[in-house]
């Protein structure tokens, strides 16, 4: 082991062959790996338009966007006040309610618990927002995590108000 | 190996064997010297082989009728149950077969823990076994998704979301696993393909598991190395074959009881409701055989740490041959280890129980204590026990405690101790 061999042309050929082989294997494997990513037909369903004219204050509807539930909640003034009166120090994932809504009356968010992806139940839990039955995460009226194993607040998807009665998600 | 000199008697046999030594292999398996004191806990290897073959055969038949499409999967399973000839039987055998497989594998694993079968020179057998166990869990999980009921869907969602706990790349991995933005048709079709593949990977690993076993030979209840062949061994056929076959018959009675009398008791009623991505069942629980790990996951209040704890609970077993520092294999001669062994068994059962209960109040507290104890057992108790435990004298051979049992008893403690020390040195 200790005797030093001089580097010769054969060593170079070995290294070059191994390197070219590694690139070749990588190039051959990548399509096999990438085929599992979302395909064109899945990506094509990227946006959904929702008519919200029939939702009354305090009511919540659930729509499907990219196969996931989206909660559209028309909050009452009481619920808005409750969400806004909380100080940021009390929050596990500090976010102002103002930053989570475009119109304070309408809370639009992905109805997916950030712990392990269950759909939380509305108007339940210790903070009168949402409660996840799977592993016991409590969310407030702004969809922020207050108690339980979920690490962050429920996500806000990209959306715009096309007019007073229509929201486009995505 | 002693049987490498085998020559078939017939001319044709010799001609064939010179070209492909299958008959040498058959002869090796027949004559394979086995410790003569193997008890019924050693019959679960054969029982597990039976379970694997049952799953492959029934699975193959189910695959002829099942359709892996989110719109058709649930209906195709009901079609199997109602329309296909004996479909109900084949599906119930397959579904309960998974539970029986895990029942047998848990007994097999705890047998190894009791008799120290994982210790040198059998570490590779043990590690291959752990890989088989991991693949079994993957196969069982994906198989449970295929009927596309509520538990299928939400179980798949929760388990695949475990990977989202990985920092930075987690979301990407989860999307890649799903092939979309949630569990959907692409997820179902790939799970079906993998569920079909994994049993054959397991089959290959079982061959390696047995090959690795046949190098040092079986451990035994006394846990000592024996000369092979000697008057401590018996040939595998007919002695062990008959014993395994009898145990298998008893096992099949239990199996048949579940299949014919309570085919759904190990499942969840929610899985007879078709998957609905908008409604999560009130109480999501995995199949019983995954409950201890589920309890560990839930007992940690942090998402990433919970996932790490759960995977560590399984992977810690890989390090077991080096965590257990005792030179004596069998718990029969380890009075302290024997007690800790039974505490561990109890601990895992408690974890399984609280895993099935809601994660709140007292259940959560018990889950946390049991989780902590699980890790303490492997990381603290086992390494230290090897140094402080005073083990009982180990016999020189399997025959000794039988024919010289009386003599052993009359010998002084000192003599036994010297002998014991000599053995632990050698």
Q: Note if A138 is an active site residue.
A: no
Q: Cβ of A119 under 8 Å from any chain B Cβ? A: yes
- Give the pLDDT of residue B73: 97
Q: In this predicted model, what pLDDT tens digit does every residue of B193-232 receive, in sequence order? A: 999 999 999 999 999 999 999 999 999 999 999 988 888 9
Given an 8 Å threshold on Cβ–Cβ distance, is B162 in contact with A116?
yes
pLDDT over 70 (residue A143): yes
- Give the pLDDT of residue B14: 95
- Give the pLDDT of residue B362: 93
- Give the pLDDT of residue B2: 45
Given an 8 Å threshold on Cβ–Cβ distance, is A67 in contact with B360?
no
In which band, very low, low, confident or very high, does the pLDDT at B417 lie, cut at 50, 70 and 90? low
Q: In this predicted model, what pLDDT tens digit does every residue of B256-290 receive, in sequence order? A: 999 999 999 999 999 999 999 888 887 888 999 99
- Residues of A with CB below 8 A from B183's CB? 67
List beta partners, residue A73.
A60, A107
Q: What percent of chain B clears pLDDT 70, i.e. is strictly above it?
A: 93
**Mutant choice from B150, B159, B161, B162 vs A, greatest count of A C-beta within 10 A:** B161
CA B354 to chain centre: 21
Q: CB under 8 Å to B2, separation ≥6 — which residues? A: B33, B228, B229
∠ at Cα B231 (B229, B232), nearest 5°?
80
- Give the pLDDT of residue B407: 46
DSSP string, B109-148: HHHHHHHTTTSTT-HHHHHHHHHHHHHHHHHHHHHHHTT-
pLDDT over 80 (residue B411): no
How many beta-carbon pairs under 8 angstroms link A with B?
Answer: 89
Residue B122 burial by Cβ neighbours in a 10 Å radius (0-12, 13-18, 19+): buried
Q: Cβ of B339 under 8 Å from any chain A Cβ? A: no
Domains of chain B: 32-284 (1.20.810.10)
- Give the pLDDT of residue B424: 55
Q: Cβ of B193 under 8 Å from any chain A Cβ? A: no
- Residues of B with CB below 8 A from A63's CB? none
Predicted TM-score (pTM) of this structure:
0.87
Q: Cβ of B36 under 8 Å from any chain A Cβ? A: no
- Between these two residues, A151 and B420, which has the higher pLDDT value? A151
Rounded mean pLDDT of B335-343? 97
Residue A97 burial by Cβ neighbours in a 10 Å radius (0-12, 13-18, 19+): buried
- Give the pLDDT of residue B329: 95
- Give the pLDDT of residue B423: 53
In which band, very low, low, confident or very high, does the pLDDT at B179 lie, cut at 50, 70 and 90? very high
Q: Cβ of A150 under 8 Å from any chain B Cβ? A: yes
- Residues of A with CB below 8 A from B176's CB? 33, 36-37
- How is residue B237 written in tokens? 């056929």
- Give the pLDDT of residue B409: 45
In which band, very low, low, confident or very high, does the pLDDT at B421 lie, cut at 50, 70 and 90? low
Å between B183 CA and nearest CA of chain A: 8
- Give the pLDDT of residue B210: 97
- Residues of A with CB below 8 A from B184's CB? 42, 67
- Give the pLDDT of residue B4: 62
Given an 8 Å threshold on Cβ–Cβ distance, is B161 in contact with A133?
no
- Residues of B with CB below 8 A from A151's CB? 302-304
List beta partners, residue B233.
B35
Given an 8 Å threshold on Cβ–Cβ distance, is B182 in contact with A133?
no
Q: CB under 8 Å to B56, separation ≥6 — which residues? A: B199, B200, B203
Q: CB under 8 Å to A10, separation ≥6 — which residues? A: none
- How is residue B203 written in tokens? 């089959």
Query: Which contiguous run of DSSP H or E holds residue B21?
Result: none
Q: Cβ of A41 under 8 Å from any chain B Cβ? A: no
- Between these two residues, B50 and A164, which has the higher pLDDT value? B50
Q: Please state the ipTM of this predicted complex.
A: 0.75
Q: In this predicted model, what pLDDT tens digit does every residue of A36-88 receive, in sequence order? A: 999 888 887 778 888 988 888 888 889 888 888 999 999 998 888 888 888 88
- Give the pLDDT of residue B416: 53
Q: Cβ of B190 under 8 Å from any chain A Cβ? A: yes
Q: In this predicted model, what pLDDT tens digit does every residue of B60-99 receive, in sequence order? A: 999 999 999 999 999 999 999 999 999 999 999 999 999 9
Out of A93, A115, A135, A138, pick the active-site residue: A135
Q: Cβ of A40 under 8 Å from any chain B Cβ? A: no
pLDDT over 70 (residue B410): no
- Give the pLDDT of residue B420: 55
- Between these two residues, B139 and B301, which has the higher pLDDT value? B139
Q: What is the mean pLDDT of chain B?
A: 91
pLDDT over 60 (residue B23): yes
Rounded mean pLDDT of B234-255? 97
Q: In this predicted model, what pLDDT tens digit does every residue of B136-178 receive, in sequence order? A: 999 999 999 999 999 999 999 988 988 888 889 998 999 999 9
List beta partners, residue A50.
A167
DSSP string, A3-23: SPPPP-HHHHHHHHHHHHHHH
- Between these two residues, A56 and B404, which has the higher pLDDT value? A56
- Give the pLDDT of residue A109: 92
A42 → chain B, closest CA residue = B180
Question: Which of A37, A62, A115 has its CB closest to that of B175?
Answer: A37
In which band, very low, low, confident or very high, does the pLDDT at A89 lie, cut at 50, 70 and 90? confident
Question: Which of the given ranges, A90-94, B269-273, B417-421, has the highest pLDDT on average?
Answer: B269-273
Q: What percent of chain A clears pLDDT 90, i.e. is strictly above it?
A: 25
A69 → chain B, closest CA residue = B278
């Amino acid at each position: 082991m200790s005797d030093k061999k001089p580097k010769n042309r054969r060593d170079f050929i070995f290294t070059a062959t191994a390197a070219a082989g590694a690139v070749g294997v990588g190039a051959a494997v990548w399509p096999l790996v990438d085929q599992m990513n979302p395909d064109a037909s899945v990506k094509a369903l990227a946006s959904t338009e929702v008519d919200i004219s029939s939702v009354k204050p305090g009511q919540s509807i659930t729509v499907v966007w990219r196969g996931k539930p989206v909660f559209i909640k028309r909050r009452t003034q009481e619920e808005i006040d409750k969400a806004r009166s909380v100080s940021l120090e009390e929050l596990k994932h500090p976010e102002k309610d103002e930053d989570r809504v475009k119109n304070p009356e309408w809370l639009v968010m992905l109805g997916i618990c950030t712990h392990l992806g269950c759909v939380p139940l509305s108007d339940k839990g210790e903070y009168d927002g949402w409660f996840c039955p799977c592993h016991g995460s409590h969310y407030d009226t702004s969809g922020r995590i207050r108690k339980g194993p979920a690490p962050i607040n429920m996500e806000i998807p990209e959306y715009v108000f096309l007019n007073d009665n229509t929201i486009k998600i995505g | 190996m002693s049987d490498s000199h085998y020559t078939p008697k017939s001319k044709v046999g010799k001609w064939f064997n010179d070209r492909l030594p299958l008959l040498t292999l058959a002869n090796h398996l027949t004559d394979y010297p086995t410790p003569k004191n193997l008890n019924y806990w050693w019959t679960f290897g054969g029982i597990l082989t039976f379970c694997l073959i049952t799953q492959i055969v029934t699975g193959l038949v189910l695959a002829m009728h099942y359709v892996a499409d989110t719109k058709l999967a649930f209906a195709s399973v009901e079609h199997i149950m109602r329309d296909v000839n004996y479909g109900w039987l084949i599906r119930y055998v397959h579904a309960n077969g998974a539970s029986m497989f895990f029942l047998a594998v848990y007994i097999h694993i705890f047998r190894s823990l009791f008799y120290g079968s994982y210790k040198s020179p059998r570490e590779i057998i043990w590690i291959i076994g752990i890989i088989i166990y991991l693949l079994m869990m993957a196969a069982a999980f994906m198989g449970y998704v295929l009927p596309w009921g509520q538990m299928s869907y939400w179980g798949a969602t929760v388990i695949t979301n475990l990977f989202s706990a990985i920092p930075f790349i987690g979301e990407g991995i989860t999307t890649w696993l799903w092939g979309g933005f949630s569990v959907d048709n692409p997820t179902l079709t790939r799970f079906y393909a993998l569920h079909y593949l994994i049993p054959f990977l397991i089959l290959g690993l079982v061959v390696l598991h047995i090959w690795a076993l046949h190098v040092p030979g079986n451990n035994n209840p006394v846990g000592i190395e024996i000369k092979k062949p000697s008057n401590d061994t018996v040939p595998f056929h007919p002695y062990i074959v008959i014993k395994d076959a009898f145990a298998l018959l008893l096992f099949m009675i239990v199996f048949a009881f579940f299949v014919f009398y309570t085919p759904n008791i190990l499942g969840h009623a929610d899985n007879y409701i078709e998957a609905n991505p908008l409604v999560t069942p009130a109480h999501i629980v995995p199949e019983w055989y995954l409950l201890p790990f589920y309890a560990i996951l839930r007992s940690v209040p942090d998402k990433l740490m919970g996932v790490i704890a759960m995977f560590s609970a399984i992977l810690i077993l890989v390090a077991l041959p080096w965590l257990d520092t005792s030179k004596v294999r069998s718990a029969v001669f380890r009075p302290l280890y024997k007690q800790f062994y039974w505490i561990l068994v109890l601990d895992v059962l408690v974890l399984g129980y609280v895993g099935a209960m809601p994660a709140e109040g007292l259940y959560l507290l018990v889950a946390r204590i049991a989780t902590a104890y699980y890790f303490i057992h492997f990381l603290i108790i086992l390494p230290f026990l090897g140094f402080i435990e005073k083990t009982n004298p180990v016999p020189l051979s399997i025959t000794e405690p039988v024919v010289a049992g009386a003599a052993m008893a009359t010998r002084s403690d000192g003599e036994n101790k010297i002998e014991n020390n000599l053995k632990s040195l050698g």
